[in-house]
Amino acid sequence: VKELKTKKRVFIGLTSLGLLFLSIIIYFIWYLTYGGLYNINHLLPLILAVIIGVFILFAGIGITGIVYSILCKRSFPFMQGSIRAAITLLMPAAIRIGKLMKIEKEVVESSFIEVNNQLVKAKRLLLPPKRLLLLLPHCLQYSDCPIKITTDVANCRNCGKCIIGDIKLLSQQRGFHLFVATGGTIARKVIKEIQPAAIIAVACERDLTSGIQDSYPLPVLGLPNERPEGPCVNTQVRFDKIVESVEFFTKKEEF
């Protein structure tokens, strides 16, 4: 239970509530249309009830799978479909219910990222560094730096004014792919070209939430950036978090 005593509970609680509300709404729609459906065909209400029941059961198994994987720190391949369905179907409901409960969207997204990271960690992957891609947002670069690093991060001169230089050196030493993306489209193109087995992504909560869902079933470990100067300018990420994430996917080496 200790594993759930963090912000992960926000997402799990809201998706569970989302499933409950959706079930109630769907039941009432079914109840109100029962007579009309029965007149069309006597079996129609029953068929619809079975379809709805399977949908609710599938999403319920997904939420159970999330909780169980986090508690056991293990991945259950047969639950992956229902986990994905639960996340995709219930995320919008979770955000809406969060809004009604005055929970900020960013808090829900942050909780989702935490849940996702635990699910990725539960897979316990061990990869050669060449199968790993680290995707960074352009806003990590010092805003007055004149060097273009989005075409090739090797252009960075390691001046020390931002973290890009240190991460570039780390990628050269460890051998993983590194790319600084200006947006989701270019990130998708790079993923298609490199075909990594896993991704570490640094971005804001909103971009990480959509990126993680878009990339499924590719495991994506999400690291939200810090924004001391506001969004999209001179953002930061802790270097030790990057090292820790790289080491999670690859063999631990001296650095």
- Which range in 40-48, 121-129, 160-168, 181-189 contacts ligand SF4 by CB under 6 A? 160-168
Applying CB under 6 A, among 16, 82, 116, 141 the residue interacting with ligand SF4 is 141
Applying CB under 6 A, among 161, 188, 227, 241 the residue interacting with ligand SF4 is 161
| DSSP annotation of 202 | E
Contact 80, 217 (CB under 8 A): yes
Site string for ligand SF4, 107-136 (x = CB under 6 A): ------------------------------
Applying CB under 6 A, among 57, 72, 159, 232 the residue interacting with ligand SF4 is 159
CB contact set of 71 (below 8 Å; sequence gap of 6+):
1, 3, 4
Identify residues 162-221 at the interface with ligand SF4 (CB under 6 A): 162, 164-165
Size of the site for ligand SF4 (CB under 6 A): 13
Choice between 152 and 214, CB closer to ligand SF4:
152
- Which range in 15-23, 104-112, 153-161, 220-228 contacts ligand SF4 by CB under 6 A? 153-161
| CB-neighbour burial class of residue 25 (10 A; exposed 0-12, middle 13-18, buried 19+) | exposed
Choice between 59 and 170, CB closer to ligand SF4:
170
Radius of gyration, CA atoms only, the chain? 21
Q: Phi first, then psi: give them for residue 220, nearest 5 degrees.
A: -125, 120
Min dist. Cβ of residue 246 to ligand SF4 (A): 19
Applying CB under 6 A, among 149, 187, 200, 204 the residue interacting with ligand SF4 is 149
Q: Peptide bond before 128: cis, by omega within 30 degrees of 0?
A: no
Residue matched to tokens 């978090």: 241
User: What distance in Å separates the CA atoms of residue 91 and residue 84, rounded to the nearest whole number?
Assistant: 10
Min dist. Cβ of residue 143 to ligand SF4 (A): 9
Q: Is 132 helix (H, G, I), strand (E, B) or coil?
A: strand
Choice between 90 and 164, CB closer to ligand SF4:
164
User: What distance in Å separates the CA atoms of residue 62 and residue 116, rounded to the nearest whole number?
Assistant: 13
| H-run or E-run covering 201 | strand 198-203
User: What distance in Å separates the CA atoms of residue 69 and residue 18, rounded to the nearest whole number?
Assistant: 20
Identify residues 36-75 at the interface with ligand SF4 (CB under 6 A): none
Choice between 41 and 143, CB closer to ligand SF4:
143
Binding site for ligand SF4 (CB under 6 A): 141-142, 145, 147, 149, 156-159, 161-162, 164-165
